[in-house]
Amino acid sequence: MTKQHRYLPLTPTDRQEMLEFIGVSEMEALLTDIPAEVRLTTALDIPEALSELELTKHMSSLATKNISTNEASLFLGAGTYDHFIPSVVNHVLLRSEFMTAYVPYQPEASQGELQALFEFQSMVCELTGMDVANSSLYDAFTSLGEACNLAITHTKKGRILMSQAVHPQAREVVDTYAYGMEYDVETIGLNDLSTDLESIKTQIDDDTAAVVVQYPNFFGSIEDLKAVKSLLEGKKALLIVVANPLALALLETPGNLGADIVVGDMQPLGIPMSYGGPHCGYFAAKKAYMRKLPSRIVGETVDSDGKRGYVMTLQTREQHIRREKATSNMSSNQALFALGSAVFMTAIGKEGIREMAEQNLSKAHYLSRNLKEAGFEILSNDNFFNEFVVKVTKPVLEVNKQLLAHNIIGGYDVSELLTTENAMLICVTEKRTKAEIDQFVKCLVEVAN
């Protein structure tokens, strides 16, 4: 540490001053407590530091190894979606007041941040038909884990019934939560790519804390939430719904269909795919569960002059106050992305989000119709939003390799999940042009022959 390093802020002069203040003449003197036999005496075997020019060149060459949606048309969904994000989102996010904001513990200095999160919460409630929402969690999977935890502690029961049509990675995360909290998670089987209602009937019992379904589900199909809810009548079990917020622009809100908790990811509404994350989970619930919500909730109130203001509220649930009795260990959120999503929703507006959803719906159905006409078997029925499952003629991996040569990124391999060979989950968003969709059909036909 003797030479001036461009990435470290201290100069040799700074170090000298500090050493003099401490009262030693060199760094070595501070390390005498470490036994000589475990001290490293040679230089670390890592390359020399690069200059800014060298570093930029190196990182650029790494980056060009990746293909983004700028170079290829994406027909892959399965939880992370390629949607349009207007430039206004970044313009607001990159403002230093928002970019560098920490948790708004001090309301008098954070009204902008708090108001933005309050509006985010309000929009989530409107989309989901719920009474209350928190200011976000890490992602949909975390939100689902927290929802299951809430159901278990609230009902004091020991098991969760989860549809096989819930995102498999969400299921993995909940299994981890369940392991720690010592409750069981059991699978409800499928009937024709939707949750089998008969299975719910036979599997639900008095020890069931909640039933979890996804809407639209992982395979793209729209579940009958009303029917699921009716099967919970007379039982204490909660209905937890994992919902794509964009789809909620067209679908009946889970709130109106009897959901107790609605969770999901705001990624489709204003958040870049970023190769899987970071994204932004949301958590909304009925008023009865308000005091059991995990993590931060922003509330609206008035100050001593009677002027409207925003604060973090119901903090006595949280672990920094309630410690081991806290409702949850989550004390973080995705504030910047929640803000980004709020900016997106405000900029695009209700009409815009609805139009966006309609484009997704019609384009996905256009593709499935054309694939059917070209002779492919569509495993999904017509009841899907922007994703469906098609049977291709070769293993999905092979098909995707060949599609990539045409600058097309193919769908997700659900063969194992559905125990059906060569099953591909395809997604079509508003960003896919008619030309791209037609090209996709053409290429898939070519690959088949």
Partner 1 sequence: MVNKNDLLYTEEHEWIAVLDDNTIRVGITEFAVDQLGDIVYVELPAVDDKFDAEEEFATVESVKSTSGIYAPVSGIVSDINEALEDEPELLNEAPLESGWLVEIKTEGAIDTSHLLSLAAYEALIED
* C-beta separation of 263 from 282 below 8 A: yes
Q: Build a one-symbol-per-residue string for 313-342: x at contacts with partner 1 by CB under 8 A, - elsewhere.
A: ---xx---xx--x-----------------
Residue type, 126: E
Q: Whole-angstrom Cα distance, residue 130 to residue 122?
A: 10
Amino acid at site 119: E
Question: Whose Cβ is closer to partner 1: residue 229's or residue 317's?
Answer: 317
Contacting residues for 399 by C-beta, under 8 A, at least 6 apart: 392, 393, 410, 422, 424, 444, 447
Residues 6+ apart with CB under 8 A from 204: 161, 211, 231, 232, 235, 237
The number of C-alpha atoms within 13 Å of 244 and in the hemisphere containing its C-beta is 29
Beta carbon nearer to partner 1, 111 or 315: 315
- Find the shortest distance in angstroms from Cβ 316 to partner 1: 4
Least Cβ distance, residue 389 to partner 1 (angstroms): 45
- Whether residue 247 contacts residue 357, with contact meaning beta carbons closer than 8 Å, is answered with yes
Cα separation, 378 vs 401, whole angstroms = 21
SS3 313: strand
Q: How far is the CB of 322 from partner 1 (least distance, A)?
A: 6
Rounded to a whole number of angstroms, the minimum distance from the CB of residue 16 to partner 1 is 48
The least CB distance from residue 314 to partner 1, in Å, is 9
Dihedrals phi, psi of 279, to nearest 5 degrees: -120, -150
CB of 55 to partner 1, least distance (A): 50
Q: How far is the CB of 321 from partner 1 (least distance, A)?
A: 6
The DSSP annotation for 31-88 comes to GTTS-GGGS--SPPS-PPPPPHHHHHHHHHHHHTTS--TTTSEE---TT-------TH
**Closest by Cα among 263, 251, 199 to 220:** 251
Is there binding between residue 3 and partner 1 (CB under 8 A)?
Answer: no
The DSSP element (H or E) to which 377 belongs, if any, is strand 377-378
Q: Between residues 5 and 322, which has the closer beta carbon with respect to partner 1?
A: 322
Nearest distance from C-beta of residue 178 to partner 1, angstroms? 23
Residues 6+ apart with CB under 8 A from 277: 139
* Long-range CB contacts for residues 33-39, cutoff 8 Å, separation at least 24: none
Closest contact distance (angstroms) between CB of 301 and partner 1 is 12
**Identity of the residue, 291 or 369, whose beta carbon is nearer to partner 1 in the bound complex:** 291
| Nearest CB to partner 1, comparing residues 166 and 237 | 237
User: Which is nearer to partner 1, 3 or 325 (by Cβ)?
Assistant: 325
Question: Measured from the CB atom, is 30 or 288 closer to partner 1?
Answer: 288
CB of 134 vs partner 1, minimal distance in Å: 17
Q: What value does the CA radius of gyration of the chain take, rounded to a whole number of Å?
A: 26
At 99, is the secondary structure helix, strand, or coil? Answer: helix
Residue with Cβ nearer partner 1 (22 or 321): 321
Give the residue from 259, 171, 262, 161 showing the smallest Cα distance to 206: 161
Nearest residue (CB) to partner 1, 187 versus 329: 329
| Closer residue to partner 1 in complex, CB, 13/304 | 304
Please spell the DSSP secondary structure of 144-183, one letter per residue.
HHHHHHHHHHHHT--EEEEETTS-HHHHHHHHHHHHHHT-
Q: How far is the CB of 262 from partner 1 (least distance, A)?
A: 23
Map residue 192 onto helix, strand or coil: coil
Q: Interface with partner 1 includes 16 (CB under 8 A)?
A: no
Kindly determine how many residues on this chain lie close enough to bind partner 1 according to the rule CB under 8 A: 6
Nearer to partner 1, 10 or 321 (CB): 321
User: Does the footprint of partner 1 cover residue 291 (CB under 8 A)?
Assistant: yes
| Amino acid in the structure at residue 414 | V
Which residues bind to partner 1, rule: CB under 8 A?
Answer: 291, 316-317, 321-322, 325
